[in-house]
A and B are shown apart, each in its own frame.
Chain A
Amino acid sequence: NAGVTQTPKFQVLKTGQSMTLQCAQDMNHNSMYWYRQDPGMGLRLIYYSASEGTTDKGEVPNGYNVSRLNKREFSLRLESAAPSQTSVYFCASSTANTEAFFGQGTRLTVV
């Protein structure tokens, strides 16, 4: 079982470039999440999707867009990357009111 798979694992962008972080889960979970983690800090929720076709903003949604492509996949897009978006990004999934399972993260650097 792969669980939650994120691609890419590492990425360097120049300021103003765009990119999409991919996430897929094979656990048939309804809910999916995108978090960012800055050094020495906890995880902050960027966007959340309760089910296919629905998305909702989290604590820090500015500068990001998401797409819940189908039940398995939930992508995060940076339209115009900024140095403040340098972070480690985690995707997670869960069923209703159970623990969330996390991917291994994408380490993004914006220069």
Chain B
Amino acid sequence: GESVGLHLPTLSVQEGDNSIINCAYSNSASDYFIWYKQESGKGPQFIIDIRSNMDKRQGQRVTVLLNKTVKHLSLQIAATQPGDSAVYFCAENNNFNKFYFGSGTKLNVKP
């Protein structure tokens, strides 16, 4: 099966600081990656995605970096806000269009 894992289960940051959430994947055939945010009691919400032909993609306050050599993905959140507190998941997708998820990182933003 697929294996997508996260290095840190919990991350605490001060409001206004930058956050970095990491993710390792094992399937070198994966060509599409997504970061999701999940708030308590809700379904995952799309944040940003990146395809394997890119190594960086930026959104509003978020940046995703992809290192295919070491099969590593990261999500950077700039100027972290209390509303960013949630669990963040990375997901990988291969040619068969199945999404496989990591176990998640809980982000705590301290005021």
Q: A interface vs B, CB < 8 Å?
A: 4, 31, 33, 35, 40-45, 48, 50, 56, 58-59, 90, 92, 94, 96-105
User: Closest CB of chain B to A45's CB: distance in Å?
Assistant: 6
> Which listed segment binds A: B55-63, B67-75, B94-102?
B94-102
A94/B103 in contact, CB under 8 A: no
B49/A42 in contact, CB under 8 A: no
User: Closest CB of chain B to A83's CB: distance in Å?
Assistant: 22
Known: A56-B98, A59-B100. 9 other contacts (CB 8 A): A45-B99, A59-B2, A92-B99, A97-B93, A97-B97, A99-B34, A99-B49, A102-B44, A104-B43
3 closest cross-chain pairs (CB), A and B? A102-B43, A42-B101, A43-B101
| B45 contacts chain A at the CB level, 8 A cutoff | yes
B97/A43 in contact, CB under 8 A: no
Contact A45/B100 with A102-B45, A103-B43 known, Cβ cut-off 8 Å:
yes
Question: Which residues of chain A are within 8 angstroms of B102 by Cβ–Cβ distance?
Answer: 42
B101/A101 in contact, CB under 8 A: no
Q: B interface vs A, CB < 8 Å?
A: 1-2, 4, 32, 34, 41-46, 49, 89, 91, 93, 97-104
User: Closest CB of chain B to A79's CB: distance in Å?
Assistant: 24
User: Closest CB of chain B to A58's CB: distance in Å?
Assistant: 7
Question: Which residues of chain A are within 8 angstroms of B93 by Cβ–Cβ distance?
Answer: 97
Contacting residue for A44 out of B34, B42, B101, CB 8 A: B101
